[in-house]
Amino acid sequence: MKKDFLTLYGMQKSEFDEIMNRSERLKLFNKKGIEHLSLKGRSLGMIFDKSSTRTRISFEVGMHQMGGLAIFLSRRDIQLGRGETVRDTARVISRYLDCVMIRTFGQDIVDEFAEYASIPVINGLTDLLHPCQIAADLFTIKEKKGSCEGITVAYIGDGNNMANSWINAATVLPFRLALACPEGYDPDKAILDRGIKEAKAEVTLFRTPEEAVRNADVIYTDVWASMGQESEQEDRAKIFRHFQVNEKLLQHAKRDAIIMHCLPAHRGEEITADVIDGPRSVVIDEAENRLHVQKAIIEILLEGGI
C-alpha cells in the first residue's frame, strides 16, 4: 500500500528516526558535493494554493539534486482552480507523477487528495498542520542540541498549524512541549486534548510566555496572522502583544536556549529583530534543513516506507 506524509501523528518513532538518519546522510552528501541521483526518472508534482519561498524551492531543488523532476502547479494554472474535483485531479495526476506535495487551506483537501491518489501525498502546509516544517525543526534541534529527546520546547504565540504540528510531534518523541497562547487562540482542541493524553513526555498550555520559556531549550514562535488571516492582522497584533519573543522574555529562559521560527517572520511583531538576528537564532540553518529533510521524506516514501 502506498504511504503518505500528511501528519506526524501516528508515526512510529523508528520511522521518524529513519527520516532523521537519512536527512543526516543526505546533508553530508550535499555538503561534500557527492552526487546522489536516487530519483532519476521520478517526478514530484507541487500543488500550491498559498504562497511559498522555502517549501517550493526546497522541494524543487531537492528533486533536482536527486536526479528527478519537480513540477510547480499553482491552483490558478491547473483545472482544479476552475472547479475540476480534487478526486479527479488526484486520480489523473497519479498516472503521470510518482509523488505529489500539496499546500492548501483545509486539511480535508489534502486528506481527500491522499484518499484518491495512488501515489504518496505530502502535506506541504494546511491551515491545520505543517509536518514538513516540524520534521526539519526536529532535525535542526538534533544538530544543535544533540538530541530531541528530553529537551523542552516552548512555543509562543498563535495556536496555529505550527503549534498543532508541535503537539503531534510530542506524541511521537519524548520532549516536553510548553505552549503559551492567548485565550481564544489555542491550538486545535482535538489535537491538544489528544496531545496532552498521548504525549511521550508532557504537553502543557500556559497563558503567559514567561511560564512557558522557563527551562526551555528551544524557544519557537510563528506569525500572529497566518496565510488566509490577513484581515485579522491588526486585531491580532493587539491581542498577541504580550506574546512577543524579545530580550526581556529571554531573561526568563535558559542562557543556552536557541531561537527558532519557521519563517517568514514579522520583525517587531511576534519576534524582535535583535532576537531573530541575534547569536541564539538558528532560523537560517532551520530553513536550510527543509531541503535535506524533505529529500529524505520523498526518498523514503518512494521506496514505500514511512
Q: Which residues bind ligand NVA (CB under 6 A)?
A: 125, 130, 160-162, 222-223, 226-227, 262
Shorter beta-carbon distance to ligand CP: residue 125 or 306: 125
| Cell representation of residue 272 | 524582535
Half-sphere exposure of 147 (CA within 13 A, CB side): 7
H/E stretch holding 43 reads: strand 43-48
Annotation marks residue 292 as catalytic: no
Beta bridge partners of 260: 220
Residue/partner pairs of 283-288 with CB below 8 Å, 24 or more apart: 283/259, 285/140, 285/143, 285/144, 286/136, 286/137, 286/140, 286/260, 286/261, 286/262, 287/54, 287/263
Annotation marks residue 262 as catalytic: yes
Identified catalytic residue from 133, 158, 217, 236: 133
Look at residue 250 and give its three-state secondary structure: helix
- Residues in contact with ligand CP, total (CB under 6 A)? 8
Shorter beta-carbon distance to ligand NVA: residue 178 or 262: 262
Is residue 133 a contact point for ligand CP (CB under 6 A)? Answer: yes
Annotation marks residue 222 as catalytic: yes
Nearest distance, CB of residue 229 and ligand CP, angstroms: 14
d(CA 239, CA 15) in angstroms, rounded, equals 39
d(CA 133, CA 208) in angstroms, rounded, equals 25
Is residue 52 a contact point for ligand CP (CB under 6 A)? Answer: yes
Sketch the per residue contact string, 106 through 125, with ligand CP: x for CB under 6 A, - otherwise: -------------------x
| Per-residue DSSP letter, 184 | T
Nearest distance, CB of residue 228 and ligand NVA, angstroms: 7
Nearest distance, CB of residue 58 and ligand NVA, angstroms: 12
Annotation marks residue 242 as catalytic: no
Identified catalytic residue from 54, 236, 261, 290: 290
Q: Who's near 170: CB < 8 A, 6+ residues apart?
A: 176, 177, 195, 199, 200, 201, 202, 203
Is residue 55 a contact point for ligand CP (CB under 6 A)? Answer: yes
d(CA 28, CA 267) in angstroms, rounded, equals 32
Amino acid identity at 189: K
Is residue 79 a contact point for ligand CP (CB under 6 A)? Answer: no
Look at residue 32 and give its three-state secondary structure: helix
53 binds, among ligand CP, ligand NVA, none (CB under 5 to 8 A by kind): ligand CP
Shorter beta-carbon distance to ligand CP: residue 52 or 215: 52
Phi, psi torsion values for 281, nearest 5 degrees: -80, 135
Identified catalytic residue from 22, 54, 56, 103: 103
Nearest distance, CB of residue 262 and ligand NVA, angstroms: 5
Annotation marks residue 266 as catalytic: no
Shorter beta-carbon distance to ligand CP: residue 53 or 118: 53
Annotation marks residue 130 as catalytic: yes
Amino acid identity at 201: A
Shorter beta-carbon distance to ligand NVA: residue 222 or 299: 222
Q: Catalytic residue numbers?
A: 103, 130, 133, 222, 262, 290
Binding site for ligand CP (CB under 6 A): 52-55, 125, 133, 262-263
